[in-house]
């Protein structure tokens, strides 16, 4: 849990003082991290029963007194990223988790008269950015294998070196490649799920017709 927390804090910019309740210590986090242990239906039940707002609250800095906790969605973004990496691209876990978290964030926005688009962007834009960084990093790892082979192919007119390099790269990094592929596909599904939840909540709770459009740039 300590290493997961350190990496999540780095990748998703946790507040320096940390959180009142750490998501890495939760049963749900453990279930999301271990798809080979926990059946999908069991995890779906846990997702539906979880109270996500307990992971919003930032721990006050030592020596400070506050009447109200600051709020950050960074822990929940980290949980979504984990689900995207660990569960298959056709699993119901990532989009269901994103929908439930998005609904809770939107409820918090309504309760505190906050801009709904701003709050949902704060949750989901870092997820999109993390997926883009992961794809770039994966591509960079493959280049040292493919570029020399591509040079041989150009000089000799033989495609076999590129193919052999690709097979070697794939064999060495197959687990990372699989996680990266799952992450990319699931990130797209989660972004769609979050935007759909925002639009449905927008219509049903506010009785307005204008859709919430999330800016991923």
pLDDT in single tens digits along all 217 residues of the chain: 799 999 999 999 999 999 999 999 999 999 999 999 999 999 999 999 999 999 999 999 888 877 789 999 999 999 999 999 999 999 999 999 999 999 999 999 999 999 999 999 999 999 999 988 887 877 666 555 545 544 545 445 555 554 455 455 555 555 566 667 778 889 999 988 888 877 776 555 555 434 445 555 5
From CA 21, how far away is CA 59, in angstroms rounded? Answer: 8
- Residues 95/101, Cβ–Cβ less than 8 Å: no
| pLDDT score for 137 | 79
| pLDDT score for 173 | 56
| pLDDT score for 44 | 98
- Residues 198/214, Cβ–Cβ less than 8 Å: yes
190 by Cβ neighbours in 10 Å (0-12 / 13-18 / 19+) ranks as buried
């Amino acid at each position: 849990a300590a290493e997961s927390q350190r990496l999540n804090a780095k990748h998703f910019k946790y507040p320096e003082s940390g959180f009142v309740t750490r998501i890495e210590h939760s049963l749900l986090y453990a279930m999301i991290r271990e798809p080979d242990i926990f059946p999908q239906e069991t995890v779906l039940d846990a997702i539906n029963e979880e109270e996500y707002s307990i992971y919003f609250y930032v721990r006050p800095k030592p020596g400070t007194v506050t009447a109200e906790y600051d709020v950050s969605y960074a822990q929940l973004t980290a949980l979504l990223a984990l689900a995207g990496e660990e569960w298959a691209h056709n699993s119901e876990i990532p989009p269901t988790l994103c929908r439930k978290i998005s609904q809770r964030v939107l409820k918090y926005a309504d309760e505190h008269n906050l801009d709904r688009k701003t709050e949902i962007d704060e949750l989901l834009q870092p997820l999109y950015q993390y997926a883009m960084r992961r794809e770039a990093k994966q591509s960079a790892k493959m280049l040292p294998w493919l570029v020399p082979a591509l040079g041989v192919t150009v000089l000799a007119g033989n495609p076999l070196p590129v193919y052999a390099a690709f097979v070697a790269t794939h064999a060495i990094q197959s687990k990372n490649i699989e996680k990266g592929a799952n992450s990319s596909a699931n990130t797209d599904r989660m972004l769609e799920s979050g935007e759909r939840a925002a639009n449905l909540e927008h219509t049903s709770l506010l009785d307005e017709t204008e859709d919430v459009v999330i800016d991923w740039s």
